[in-house]
C-alpha cells in the first residue's frame, strides 16, 4: 500500500463513523439523513428552492424533492411563494423544523475528543490539507461548490508578515491563520474563475497546467 491508500483508508474509516452517527442522530429525530441535511441547510442558510438544495447537498432533484415533501408532511417545512418568481416556491423551516435541526446538528463528542488530541500546529496543518483535498474534489466535479475561504472573493492569502495570521478576510477586515480557514462560511461569495484558479495554485499549490473544469461544474462565477 502507498501513503495515498493509507490516507484514503483512514478517511474511509472516519467517513464510516460519521455516516453511522448521522444515521443515529437523524433516526432519533425521526428523519432520514437527507431530511436532516435539508433542515440544517434551511436553518443555517435561510429559505431555498428545491433546485438550490439539491445542488448544495450534492443529491438529485427528485431525491431532494422527496425528502422535502416528507418534511412538509411532518410539519418541519412550509412552502411559500418565491417573491422573485411567482411560479416557484421557497422552503422555509417551521419552529418544529428548527428544533429538529438543532437535535441533529451536534458534532459527536467522540469526534471532537479525537480532534482535541491534535496540538494546535497539527490542527492547522490538518485543516489546510483538508481544504486542499476538498477544493480538488470540487474542481474534479466530485462534490458541489463549498463555501470556503479558498474559493472566496474576500480571501487574500499570505498578505501579512505575521506567520500566525498571514491571511486577510476583506469581509470582516481581519487577519487570520491556517487554523481559522473556513470550510462553510455564511458570508462566502464565490471568486471569479480566474481568481479562484489563481488562489488554487498560489495558496493550495495545485500544479500549473492541471486541467481546470468549467465554471458550471465548480459553481464558480465566471
Site residues for ligand SF4 per CB under 6 A: 148-149, 152, 154-155, 169, 171, 182, 185, 187-188
Give the containing element (helix H, strand E) for 94: none
38: closest CA among 23, 49, 28? 49
As a whole number of angstroms, the distance between CA 131 and CA 138 comes to 10
Shortest Å, Cβ 164 to ligand SF4: 17
Nearer to ligand SF4, 76 or 167 (CB): 167
Nearer to ligand SF4, 76 or 147 (CB): 147
Largest Cα–Cα distance in the chain? Answer: 56
Nearer to ligand SF4, 170 or 210 (CB): 170
Contact indicator for 207, 139 with CB cutoff of 8 Å: no
Nearer to ligand SF4, 67 or 152 (CB): 152
Q: Could you tell me how many helices (H) and strands (E) the chain has, helices first?
A: 9, 5
Shortest Å, Cβ 135 to ligand SF4: 12
Shortest Å, Cβ 187 to ligand SF4: 4
Amino acid at each position: 500500500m502507498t501513503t495515498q491508500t493509507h490516507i484514503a483508508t483512514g478517511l474511509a474509516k472516519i467517513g464510516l463513523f460519521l455516516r453511522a452517527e448521522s444515521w443515529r442522530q437523524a433516526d432519533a429525530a425521526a428523519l432520514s439523513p437527507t431530511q436532516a441535511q435539508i433542515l440544517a441547510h434551511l436553518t443555517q442558510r435561510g429559505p431555498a428552492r428545491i433546485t438550490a438544495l439539491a445542488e448544495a447537498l450534492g443529491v438529485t432533484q427528485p431525491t431532494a424533492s422527496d425528502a422535502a415533501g416528507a418534511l412538509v408532511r411532518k410539519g418541519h417545512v412550509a412552502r411559500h411563494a418565491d417573491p422573485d418568481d411567482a411560479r416557484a416556491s421557497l422552503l422555509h423551516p417551521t419552529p418544529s423544523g428548527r428544533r429538529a435541526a438543532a437535535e441533529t446538528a451536534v458534532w459527536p463528542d467522540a469526534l471532537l475528543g479525537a480532534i482535541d488530541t491534535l496540538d494546535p500546529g497539527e490542527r492547522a496543518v490538518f485543516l489546510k490539507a483538508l481544504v486542499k483535498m476538498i477544493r480538488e474534489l470540487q474542481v474534479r466535479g466530485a462534490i458541489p461548490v463549498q463555501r470556503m475561504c479558498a474559493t472566496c472573493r474576500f480571501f487574500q492569502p499570505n498578505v501579512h508578515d505575521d506567520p500566525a495570521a498571514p491571511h486577510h478576510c476583506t469581509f470582516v477586515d481581519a487577519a487570520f491563520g491556517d487554523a481559522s480557514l473556513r470550510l462553510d462560511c455564511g458570508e462566502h461569495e464565490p471568486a471569479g474563475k480566474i481568481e479562484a484558479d489563481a488562489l488554487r495554485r498560489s495558496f493550495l499549490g495545485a500544479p500549473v497546467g492541471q486541467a481546470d473544469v468549467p465554471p458550471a461544474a465548480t459553481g464558480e462565477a465566471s
